[in-house]
A and B are shown apart, each in its own frame.
Chain A
């Protein structure tokens, strides 16, 4: 038996013994575990599952054991992933610490910073949020104006951020700040880590068209941050910022992947897959009676499968380097797919996908309405689709950059 097969065997046994029964059922949104100081567990087995997985470092399987990670090789991590999906295990911990900050902290942080923050990310003890966009800095992110001025051993931070996901629930923030105003915009940015409980930090949720409020406005009024909490070198934060964005795009591109058996997963068969929904709401038995919708659904599912193969191939091709410029392609395509998916759910379900609240609709149906509206943000958050296409054109295809041509003139 190879070592990899032995690892598969022991992993399978461990999962059989340690994954609680309710953690093998499809995830429901209220039970997603984000961790943090104020975490509340709707389902007590979620806590048990998180603790057991974190103990082995398997919430972050490939991170170094030195900092609490699983220390697994790429192949072992892929075996773990297989085995988890084999028993339909839920994701034990979802967090921006895992998907965004952790990878760049491991790449750019000091040993002390890693020792302080990585184990807490692995165990879900600290919940992080991302301080990037500002009211005046959206697609042109590098024009950000939140400033940090050195005062003794501290930076004094003033300014505001917007679209800060779950800022009202987060414990710490990784934040882009301007530390030099005299140089070109990309060269005066630094990357700061600080506690959201610091004096002078306030947050205000933004209500979205879907009715929910996952994003906030975040304000900094003379927030004092110890200079040791600067990550990477002063004024070189843009490099880290861009690297983190690649990780973010890879995460968001996952929206394009079908979940579980159906197109959107879920617990009832009528809204889990597009074809199931299309037939259910039309009373069709063997095939979708509307030939145009049937063709559109087939086309969507073909693209969706092709996209899943592409994500898989991209993983196989990426060596130790982690995500690269193709993450922009995956982000662009995955988000467009997800938007198409929900437009098709609306067509498949008719007016039952247009309910806002009340007893005339099943909970799952109301959820589809909200998810459809939420999906519209996919091609804006983490860099708009237009920005992703710019990156592909410039970095992958090597096409000339019109902005830098214009600036030369």
Chain B
């Protein structure tokens, strides 16, 4: 497996970069924040992304997609990370459509996937129930009642939860609160009775929501995959999303690093460019090295998603490796982004603050560095 982009992937990356710089620079994010946007993303930008075919990148052709693979989605996410683009690409496409593809029936897929690709349907996945990610800990219950299920429980940190038309709710049909058996997935309309969705304003200005489910009644057809057998598909998709988010984090960290190096060459103190000071040079060189490692693991992890010879376990190992490494390095570089810019780095007027805010949210999303080191160790039997 090559760790260098193919010509097609490089072309896509260049055009994605161009698009993000031209149409979705950080000023778009700033405007959404300042205007306290209801939807939390720019609809015109999202429409253009749909026209470019980004939501269909990793979706099968028979469902309206382009089957360009996760490598395609990976480079698009990487470039969107450079300008911190807020869009339904992660929640609805990377997470929602992947879960639908993995767990859904033929009918569900052909009814819904084309609508995700065309942007008319937005999905969100509700999994976490506590402030710290733990996908096995599912307390939300689904009780069978004739040809319906009754869902009760609470969900938090649901990405794009308040704008989604349909939510995929992870609930327990049987078993203890920590057991992987007995976890089921349900497609629930956002206007279902008994479902309360509260948008939570997060530091990175992205959409998150808290859900309360009280006696939410859904027909048995809304079950995604077999009853009690949802965890396997969920776990596979969590790894896809972790790798996709790692690609996005790579873009953000690269952007911060390049801004740091530019600043070191431009800012003068004591009569010289501050980039001539060895204390700063060495920290910059260390960051460069860490970033090179990040680039390699993202290429390898994204490649593993498209490589049919890789097992689910191989991909899980790669996902935890990539997410753990990117979380660590994102923290390092986003912190240095402020420190090396000095006072101006602390001002809201300057863009670097947006990056540290997004970095922490991305770190926490679907497991931070410690979570993934622990998982990596378990997957390697130690």
Contact = CB atoms under 8 A, between A and B. Distances in A.
The answer to whether A and B assemble together is: yes
Interface of A: 275, 278-279, 286-288, 294-295, 297-299, 301-303, 305-307, 309-310, 312-313, 316-317, 326, 329, 332-333, 386, 388-390, 392-394, 396-402, 405
Contact of B297 (A279, A287, A306): A306
Contacts of B292: 310, 326, 329
Contacts of A288: 377, 382
Contacts of A332: 285, 289
B293 A393 contact: no
Interface string B339-379: 00000000000000000000000000000001001101110
B183 to A, nearest CB: 24
Interface string B265-286: 1000000110111100110111
For chain A, what secondary structure do more than half of its interface residues adopt (helix, strand, loop), or is it mixed?
helix
A392 B292 CA distance: 12
A312 B377 contact: no
A316 B4 contact: yes
Interface of B: 2-4, 261, 264-265, 272-273, 275-278, 281-282, 284-286, 288-289, 292-297, 299-300, 321, 324-325, 370, 373-374, 376-378, 380-382
Given A275-B382, A396-B288, A306 B261 contact: no
A309 B277 CA distance: 31
Given A329-B292, A333-B289, A402 B297 contact: no
A266 B280 CA distance: 40
Top 8 closest pairs, chain A to chain B, by CB: A275-B382, A393-B281, A309-B296, A392-B285, A313-B3, A306-B293, A298-B373, A389-B285
A400 B373 contact: no
27 contacts: A287-B382, A294-B382, A295-B374, A295-B377, A298-B324, A298-B374, A298-B382, A299-B373, A302-B325, A303-B293, A303-B325, A305-B321, A306-B296, A306-B325, A310-B292, A316-B2, A316-B3, A389-B286, A390-B281, A390-B282, A393-B282, A393-B284, A396-B285, A397-B281, A399-B275, A399-B276, A400-B273
Contacts of B276: 399-402, 405
B346 to A, nearest CB: 23
A318 to B, nearest CB: 11
Given A301-B380, A399-B275, 14 more contacts: A286-B381, A287-B378, A295-B374, A302-B324, A303-B293, A306-B321, A310-B295, A313-B295, A329-B285, A332-B289, A400-B273, A400-B276, A402-B277, A402-B278
A379 B277 CA distance: 22
Given A275-B382, A306-B296, A306-B297, A399 B281 contact: yes
Nearest to B369: A299
Nearest to B3: A313
A392 B289 contact: yes
Given A306-B325, A389-B286, A400 B265 contact: yes
Nearest to A286: B381
Contacts of A309: 3, 293, 296-297, 299-300
Nearest to A388: B285
Contact of A333 (B3, B293, B299): B293
B284 A399 contact: yes
Contacts of A294: 374, 377, 382
Given A278-B382, A316-B4, A298 B285 contact: no
A394 B285 CA distance: 9
A275 B380 CA distance: 9
Nearest to B257: A397
B279 to A, nearest CB: 11
Nearest to B300: A309
Contacts of B277: 402
Contacts of A298: 324, 373-374, 376-377, 380, 382
Contacts of A310: 292-293, 295-296
Q: Which of B284, B321, B376, B377 has the most CB of A within 10 A?
A: B377
B382 A317 contact: no
Contacts of A312: 3, 296
A305 B380 CA distance: 13
Given A306-B296, A306-B325, A399 B265 contact: yes
B4 A397 contact: no
